[in-house]
Amino acid sequence: MLYKGSCHCGKVAFEVEGELGGAVRCNCSICQRKGALLWAVPHPSMRLVAWGDDLGRYIFGKGVIAHRFCRTCGIHPFAEDVSQSGERTAYINVNCLDDVDLTAVEVFEFDGRSA
């Protein structure tokens, strides 16, 4: 299934191909603050359709994940692995997808704070 997603203002927009079987709620220092619900997909399954100069990048800690955000509206639509080598993963913020019944999405807790 093809999902469409975006930030709030629409300057960052993307599509994701896959089956949304659930989402992860991570309690690490950034995911908890964002309130993100994450869906991990192979990076090639996600396609950016709009971004311009508005797609910011925030990297902290071990520096393995780039947290991408819209510089205009501040919403974090997705994150991605930093490494360009091997199989990359995109972590879609399910809250940013269109036409998804969030009450029907199974949520898995992940203890990222201890990872």
| Distance, CA of 23 to CA of 38 (rounded, Å) | 5
* By the rule CB under 5 A, 20 interacts with Zn ion: no
Q: How far is the CB of 59 from Zn ion (least distance, A)?
A: 20
Binding mask 47-76 for Zn ion (x = CB under 5 A): -----------------------x-xx---
Query: Dihedral through CA 26, CA 31, CA 35, CA 39, nearest 10?
Result: -60
CA distance 90 to 77: 10
Q: Which is nearer to Zn ion, 28 or 66 (by Cβ)? A: 66
| Minimum distance from residue 110 beta carbon to Zn ion (Å) | 26
